[in-house]
Amino acid sequence: MLNADALKQLSQLKTDIRSTKEFAEGRVRGSSGKFGFVVLDDGREAFLPPAEMDRVFPGDRVKVSLTEEDKGKLSAELDQLVESNLKYLVGQYVQRGQGHFIQPSEHGLSRWIFLPPKARGKAQPGEFIACSITRHPFKDGKSQAKVETVIGKPENAGIEHAFVVAQYQLPNQFGKEALAQAESIPAQLEALCAERKDLSDLGFVTIDAETTKDMDDALAVTESGDGWTLHIAVADPSSLIEAGSALDKEARKRANSVYLAGETLPMLPANLCENSFSLIAGELRPVLVMRIEVGKDGALTGFDYEFAAIRSQHKLSYAQVAQFIEGDASAAPAEQHDSLRHLDALSKARAAYRAGHSLVMEDRPDYDLILNDHRKIERIEKQHRTAAQRMVEEAMLAANICAGEKLAELGGGCFSIHLGFRDERMAEIRSLLKDTLPEYAEQDLHQLDVYLKLVKALESHSDAEMHNVLAVLKRMLRPGELSNSAAAHLGLGLAHYATVTSPIRKFNDLHNHRVLRAAQLGEARPTLNDAQSEALQQSVGTGRQADRALQQWLFCQFLEGKTGEDFSGTITLVNGAGIGVRLDDFGINGFVRFNSKKNPFEFDGKRLRITRGEETFQLDQQVQVKVAAVDTEKRRIAFELVSEITSAE
């Protein structure tokens, strides 16, 4: 037994050792293996061995002690759990011998979590389940969970949809109060419309996909002096859904309608977005009407708005309007011919104007996923955008540009902003520009005018190398976001932008309607605080993640039977391990991993380019690949390179 002096010395030794260690805080990041990492607050990354990773979850905030290993690499030892946000997860119920577990789908969490007997409910092995965490593993590496919901069996039709909805906790049911409020609204429509000016004589018409039910905008165009007058009537739910009401709270929680493959989770109950507020032909509806003057050169020269009522004359599909524009006069009603021709001319003028004064988004095809009775992909139809879609898009852009300017003038609203390059990538960006366009390397690239000039200089350059530089720079941009403060949208090359054209699908549009109406009435304008805007942004992002997750699952199933088949594709990603490729026919992304031992290659991180012998691979380049392997469980698609088709231009 140690005496008092020895114990004192041992305690002092431990204190001395602890005082010489470096401690830091950071977030746990999992991996596909049993190990993990801690991303430290100062940007460094420390390795977390399997025994330590067993005690934490991905995303946990921890305090660690650091040890420097060979070649300066850091290894971490857990010291304290500061915060754990993982309270809920989904996965599959598995049984091994007497042990019952959930195999989580959580990214970076590769171990099973124990389900005690009383926590299993009626769930059965093999089923997909949603669970709450009841015991964190930090103390001894032993975690536990409780079954909250049985999602269904793997063979159930549509199980992928149900799983993703549960995984991302997407709201798919409305509360009783909200449904009761929704049921009361149809009876109020007639009285509201009777109070308003009826602008139906302007000749509005909706132009949407043939299957669209939630029609939230209608258009009418006339010639006006040296240009056109564009009238846009937008559905007006804001006048009957008060801020703070049950429906308003439900809509704010959802943030927008989520369009999953073969399924829509609407922001408002179906009886409202597909009927009461939808601009159904022949039905009187309350609307926000925006009047926009457009010059022959495409410039926006005037804007005003009023809350009115209209009856849309017709529901036209994109296909009908495209046929009419291509010369088939019978494809559209005779009374709409002049308006549609004016809209076509206006949209072309606007596109040319924006190309010269702002930025035009790349025109990419859409992909329609056609599902079978089991709600799996039967086929994928590649859809190129038609003239009709471009016409409607230009009208909506004009409305949102004018609304952004008006709301900025009023000093309120929910703006769609884009702040350009990521701050953490500026050193790389400036280094690249020093080699290519040195006159921009030291300028403030967050300023709209500077950013515009840079992008246009790269777009207009005849050198293919400059086009690659532009492709690289686009990978260093921030995502767009919602903001209570007016700021530039660098992605569109605009000083201000705020959407108002989809208030039955997007909460920020609904809020902006309220601001415009309050300004017109001289009332106090409603506001969203920063926390509310951030919550909206997070909900929008969650919906997009869910959509991507569902598509990737369905894509994996779709390609399982196509292993070994060749396809043409476009390089969308280049890193030190290989290239990401999007299949041109299907819009499906996969990865080509390069083997440096069998075929050495060089990776240029500045220009995102791989050189392998005489071959060069870079962004936007066309390549031929074959489907090498599909791991549906891990949602991974591996391609192999067949041969290079053409170099990037």
Q: Give the pLDDT of residue 218.
A: 98
Q: What is the pLDDT of residue 600?
A: 86
And the tokens for 122? 């009626």
Q: Is the pLDDT of residue 275 over 90?
A: yes
Give the per-residue pLDDT at 19.
47
User: What does the pLDDT look like over 515-550, one tens digit per residue?
Assistant: 999 999 999 999 999 899 999 999 999 999 999 999
Gap between the Cα atoms of 255 and 533, Å rounded? 10
The count of C-alpha atoms lying within 13 angstroms of the C-alpha of 548, restricted to the half-sphere facing its C-beta, is 8
How much of the chain exceeds pLDDT 90, in percent? 88
Q: Determine which of 4-18, 35-49, 417-431 has the lowest per-residue pLDDT on average.
A: 4-18
pLDDT of res. 645:
46
* Under 8 Å between Cβ of 264 and 283: no
Give residue 356's Cα distance to chain centre. Answer: 28
Note the pLDDT of residue 33.
Answer: 86
Cβ burial of 61 (10 Å; 0-12, 13-18, 19+) is middle
Q: Measured between alpha carbons, how far is 98 from 478 in angstroms, rounded to an integer? A: 49
**Which residues, listed in sequence order, are joined to residue 306 by a DSSP beta bridge?**
289
Start-to-end CA span in the chain (Å): 78
DSSP states of 504-538? TTBHHHHHHHHHHHHHHHTPPPP---HHHHHHHHH
Question: What's the average model confidence in pLDDT over 284-309?
Answer: 97
- Cβ-contact 602, 609 below 8 angstroms: no
What is the Cα gyration radius of the chain?
28
The answer to whether the CB of 274 falls within 8 A of the CB of 213 is: yes
- H helix runs in 257-314, sequence order: 270-271
Residue 10 has pLDDT above 80, yes or no: no
pLDDT of residue 56: 96
**Residue 21 clears pLDDT 80, i.e. is over it:** no
- What is the mean predicted confidence (pLDDT) over 179-197? 96
What is the structure's pLDDT at 464? 85
pLDDT of residue 3: 64
Contact, 618 vs 648, CB < 8 A? Answer: yes
What integer pLDDT is reported at residue 225 of this predicted model? 85
Q: How large is the average pLDDT for residues 121-149?
A: 96
What's the average model confidence in pLDDT over 210-237?
Answer: 95
**Residue 1 pLDDT more than 60?**
no
Whether the predicted pLDDT of 481 surpasses 50: yes
Q: Which pLDDT belongs to residue 5?
A: 66
pLDDT of the residue at 361: 85
pLDDT digits (tens, 9 = 90+) for 440-468: 999 999 999 999 999 999 999 888 889 99
pLDDT digits (tens, 9 = 90+) for 585-639: 999 999 999 987 778 899 999 999 999 988 999 999 999 999 999 999 999 999 9
When the pLDDT of each residue in the chain is averaged and rounded to a whole number, the result is 93
The one-letter amino acid at 3 = N
Average pLDDT rounded to a whole number, residues 498-515: 97
Instruction: Tell me which of 7 and 115 has the higher pLDDT.
Output: 115
pLDDT tens digits, 406-424:
999 999 999 999 999 999 9
Which residue ranges form the domains of the chain, and what is each CATH number?
23-83 (2.40.50.140), 88-154 (2.40.50.640), 176-363+380-406 (no CATH), 420-477 (no CATH), 561-646 (2.40.50.140)
Q: How far is CA 611 from CA 233, 485, 604, in A?
A: 54, 45, 8
Interatomic CA distance for residues 163 and 603, integer angstroms: 38
**Is 308 in contact with 197 (CB distance < 8 Å)?**
yes
Query: Rounded to an integer, what distance in angstroms lies between the CA atom of residue 477 and that of residue 491?
Result: 9
- What is the mean pLDDT of the segment spanning 148-163? 97
Q: Where are the beta strands (DSSP E) in 423-489?
A: 481-483
